[in-house]
Amino acid sequence: MQLTALLSTLLVATTTTLTTAFPTTLHHRQDQQTLRPLQISDLTARTLSDLDFGLFNMTLYDPNTDSAPTICNVNWHPTKPVPTSTTVKCYNNAYEVSFPAGLGSHIDRFTLRVQTTNTSSVQERGEVRLDASIEDTKWVCRNRTTEYIKQQCAYSGVLEIEI
């Protein structure tokens, strides 16, 4: 009976020690890791002419994880801007996008934030200001590209967001 109690105590003590030691080592390795910028491609935004409707689309690649690229879409009514507190999950729920200054009808200039959610193994967050009025910008906007498009903007190339 005493041998059983002793073995149980040793087993619990060993398990507790291993459990507490493992996360500390894992966090230490992540702290020293240099995180690479998130990469955004196929970044577009458009507002429609006849409808109060906006579309924002992008593909997100995270070089810091093994996950495949994910698509992020936001649909909104430009006359009722996306609130600053709103976050929208991407197809891979480990990522989400938001607009710290809101997003309304002025798709030619806004701030985009991309971050991981609590379900991600690596916590990342970065933001970038897109402004079509800046000289030599890759965020290019055009008005009335078709009968139904009021304004359409696209990023030329791959946008890197530092985290």
Residue, of 11 and 157, whose pLDDT is higher? 157
Q: Name the token pair of 37.
A: 């910028």
Percent of the chain with pLDDT over 70: 80
- Does the residue 28 lie in any domain? no
Average pLDDT of the residues in 129-139: 96
- Does the residue 25 lie in any domain? no
- Structural domain including 52 reads 38-161
- Does the residue 1 lie in any domain? no
- Does the residue 133 lie in any domain? yes
CA–CA distance, 12 with 80 (Å, rounded to integer): 57
pLDDT in tens, 66-75: 889 999 999 9
Average pLDDT of the residues in 67-94: 94
Output the domain CATH number for residue 111: 2.40.350
pTM of the model: 0.77
According to DSSP, the residues that pair with 103 across neighbouring strands are 82
- Does the residue 24 lie in any domain? no
pLDDT in tens, 7-55: 333 333 333 333 222 222 233 334 436 899 999 999 999 999 888 899 9
According to DSSP, the residues that pair with 129 across neighbouring strands are 111
- Does the residue 155 lie in any domain? yes
- Does the residue 42 lie in any domain? yes
Number of domains, the chain: 1
- Does the residue 22 lie in any domain? no
Average pLDDT of the residues in 100-108: 94
How far is residue 4 from each of residues 7, 13, 18, measured CA to CA in Å?
Answer: 5, 14, 21
